[in-house]
Amino acid sequence: MIVSGSASQSFAAALATATGRELSAVAYDRFPDGELHAAVPEFDADHAVVVVSTVSSDAHVQLLQLQDAVREAGASEVTTVLPYMGYARQDRAFSAGEPVSARAMARAISTGTDRVLTVNPHEEAICDFFDVPAESVDAAGRLADPLPADLADPLFLAPDEGATDLADTVRSAYGSGATDHFVKERDHDTGEVVVEPSDAAVGDRDVVLVDDIVATGSTMSEAIDVLHGRGVDRVFVTCLHPLLVENARTKLARAGVAALYGTDTIERPESRVSAAPAVGRHL
């Protein structure tokens, strides 16, 4: 039985289709004081799969409630799927007194589940923060699907070294092209991003920028600016998790992006491919 958080309904439906499991009814309410209430009807299944992208504090609360609700409804085994795990980027404390928020969230989530699956977390190591078995699922290969078939001598470019493996996975799924990476520095006070270009020649080529997350769009728009300064032809942006907060779309449009794609780990108009079949193979 698959049970969905309110922000992951399409993903959960796709997971139900991919795995042939039933999709549970679920009701989301809010009390007058602002408190949330997420509930499921009783069901006839021992194993519940709770699917919630923790994109907000409300989504975190809803996840904890649904984990509890499915046990009340009769499930003896609970698997939690976090298509996108919020707070995963806060995976270390830079000074005494700072929280390791990813660990705090992982511990809380662990209390209501037997197992966790998450899609391409920012750092693989966050799986170790859970007190139950936790695995990451790699859905990056699907990011090649929406790309045009006629890319000119494509370069699959990571905006920082950490995303190089993702860029290589997308290149390999596309079937041709080269991989490279830029070097990124972010000012942690202002959020401003500076991208140091590699020496890869991009003149008259198409570039596909690949990252795990596009949040404010600062990283990608800065990278696109650099590429346009070097005579690139088209620049496509693709990512696993299209958070797209604040004015990200405007920044990318002003930078001249040819197209922007993501998966449905975060449900946005740009979520052109589904990571659900990849998750289904791990259930």
Closest CA to 64 of 46, 78, 47, 45: 78
Report the residue number, 40 or 215, with the smaller CB distance to ligand R5P: 215
Report the residue number, 147 or 214, with the smaller CB distance to ligand R5P: 214
Q: Between residue 194 and residue 253, which ones bind ligand R5P under the rule CB under 6 A?
A: 211-219
From the candidates 21, 60, 184, 205, give the one annotated as an active-site residue. 184
Report the residue number, 78 or 252, with the smaller CB distance to ligand R5P: 252
Q: CB–CB of 122/212 below 8 Å?
A: yes
**Residue 163 Cβ vs ligand R5P, minimum distance, rounded to whole Å:** 6
Question: According to the binding rule CB under 6 A, does residue 17 interact with ligand R5P?
Answer: no
d(CA 52, CA 117): 11
d(CA 88, CA 101): 7
**Residue 44 Cβ vs ligand R5P, minimum distance, rounded to whole Å:** 42
Distances (CA, A) of 10 to 14, 64, 128, 264: 6, 20, 28, 8
Q: State the virtual CA torsion across 29, 84, 209, 192 in degrees, nearest 10.
A: 80
**Residue 255 Cβ vs ligand R5P, minimum distance, rounded to whole Å:** 12
Active site residue 184: yes
Report the residue number, 201 or 245, with the smaller CB distance to ligand R5P: 245
d(CA 59, CA 179): 36
**Residue 243 Cβ vs ligand R5P, minimum distance, rounded to whole Å:** 7
Q: Give the residues across from 135 on adjacent strands.
A: 117
Place of tokens 């998750």: 279
Report the residue number, 90 or 113, with the smaller CB distance to ligand R5P: 90
Residues binding ligand R5P: number (CB under 6 A): 14
d(CA 133, CA 12): 21
Binding mask 33-52 for ligand R5P (x = CB under 6 A): --------------------
Q: Between residue 159 and residue 178, which ones bind ligand R5P under the rule CB under 6 A?
A: 159-160, 162-163
Strand order in the sheet with 2-4: 2-4, 47-51, 77-82, 115-119, 134-137
Q: CB–CB of 214/262 below 8 Å?
A: yes
Q: Between residue 182 and residue 201, which ones bind ligand R5P under the rule CB under 6 A?
A: 193
**Residue 239 Cβ vs ligand R5P, minimum distance, rounded to whole Å:** 8
Report the residue number, 1 or 255, with the smaller CB distance to ligand R5P: 255
Contact residues for 35 (Cβ-Cβ < 8 A; gap 6+): none
Binding site for ligand R5P (CB under 6 A): 159-160, 162-163, 193, 211-219
Active site (catalytic) residues = 184
